[in-house]
Amino acid sequence: MRSYSDFHEVAVDTFMKYVPTCPDFNADDFDTTMDLTYLDVRSGESRNEKRTYPSTCDFVGRALLLKNRAKDGGFVCKDVADWPDSALLHESNHSDSRRADVNIYKNEHSFLWDGDFVDRTRCSDKARVEHAAPNSFALVVIPGECKLVHPGFSSTSSQPFLPDTEAAAKTRSQLCDYITEIQLPQHRSFVYAFYIFRTTVRLMRWDRDGTAVSQPIELKNETEREKFFEFFYCLRNATDTQIEFDPTVTMILPSPALCRLSCRFQERQI
C-alpha cells in the first residue's frame, strides 16, 4: 500500500473486500467488452473527452442492469457533463457549474432524465443524448470522471502514485469538490467513485478520513477489465445501507413537475 496525504493506494483485490460480495459473478457469463476507441489515445492524437462518455455509460450500465434491485428498479449510468446541477447554479448566481462526467443514479429518480427535464438540444452527439441527465449532487450515488489529459494519478504501479504537477493536483482537487458536494446534502458515511484516464481505471472509496484508491486497472487487459465490470455488478443489488445511506433519514424530494419547472427556469438564466 502506498499512502500520500489523504490518498491511500491499495491492491484491487483488497479494495473489492469493501464492496458488497457477489459470489455468483462469473465473467464468462457476461459481455464485458468495452469500446475504447475514444479512450485509447496517445500524445499528439486528437482527443475528445466527451466522446468517451457513451461507451463508459454502456459498459457500466450493462453491469448495473443485470438482475436489478427488485425494490426500486436498480441503478443507471448517465452522462451529466453538459447539464450542471441547477441547485448549485441557483446558489451561486449561475457561476458554479461543477459536475462530474458521468453519474450513477437510482432508477427511482428517473424524473431527472424523463420527458423535457433535460435540454437535449445542448448536445448534438446522438450517442451522448441517449444517456443524458442533469447533474444532481443530492441524488447521485456514484460519480465517475473521465480524463484524456492531466492525470491525477499514475497509470502504472511503477510510476509515482500522485503525479507532482499543478495539473494533477487540480484534477484531484476537482474530485474532492465533487465528493464534498455529495456529502453536504446526503447522509452518507462514504461514497464510491471511479476515475478513468485513457485506458486505465481507479476505483475509489471516499470517507471523511481519506480516500482508498485502487491500483490501476488496465481496460485493454480482459482479466483486469472484468474486475471493473465486477465492481458494478456487485453494487447492482446493494442496499442503501451497503452504500452507506443513513437508513433513519428520508429525503424529501420535490415533485417531478416542480423539478422540471425549476430546471427550465435555470436554463433560461444561463
pLDDT digits over 73-110, tens only?
Answer: 589 999 999 888 877 766 666 666 677 899 999 988 88
Q: Provide the β-strand partners of residue 197.
A: 147, 200
How far is 247 from 269, CA to CA, in rounded Å? 37
User: Does 184 or 225 have the greater pLDDT score?
Assistant: 225
Which one, of 102, 170, 169, 177, lies nearest residue 141 by Cα?
102
C-alpha cell at 248: 433513519
Picking from 14, 51, 23, 20, the residue whose alpha carbon sits closest to that of residue 35 is 51
CA angle 20, 25, 28 (to 5 degrees): 155
Model confidence pLDDT, tens digit, residues 1-46: 554 568 999 999 999 999 998 888 999 999 999 999 999 987 666 6
97 or 158: which carries more pLDDT confidence?
158
Report d(CA 183, CA 78) in Å as an integer: 20
Per-residue pLDDT tens for 226-238?
A: 999 999 999 988 8
Higher-pLDDT residue of 131, 117: 131
Q: Considering Cα of 214, then 188, then 235, then 148, what sign does the dihedral take?
A: negative
Banded pLDDT at 175 (limits 50, 70, 90): very high
Question: 173-182 long-range contacts, Cβ below 8 Å, gap at least 24?
Answer: 174/98, 174/145, 175/145, 175/204, 177/98, 178/98, 178/99, 178/100, 178/137, 178/143, 178/145, 179/143, 179/206, 181/85, 181/88, 181/98, 181/137, 182/137, 182/140, 182/143
Q: What is the 3-state secondary structure (H, E, C) of 181-209?
A: HHHCCCCECEEEEEEEECCEEEEEEEECC
- pLDDT confidence of residue 87: 74
- Per-residue pLDDT at 162 exceeds 80: yes
CA–CA dist 114, 179 (Å, integer): 25
Instruction: Compute the distance between CA of residue 166 and CA of residue 266 in angstroms, rounded to an integer.
Output: 33
Percent of the chain scoring above 70 in pLDDT: 80
Q: What pLDDT, on the 0 to 100 scale, is given for residue 47?
A: 79
In the predicted model, is pLDDT for residue 265 greater than 60?
Answer: no
Confidence grade of residue 257 (pLDDT, cut at 50, 70, 90):
low
Q: Quick one: what percent of the chain has pLDDT higher than 90?
A: 54
Q: pLDDT band at 72, cuts 50/70/90? A: very low
Band (169; pLDDT cuts 50, 70, 90): very high
In this prediction, residues 239-252 reach a mean pLDDT of 71
Whole-angstrom Cα distance, residue 61 to residue 155?
Answer: 24
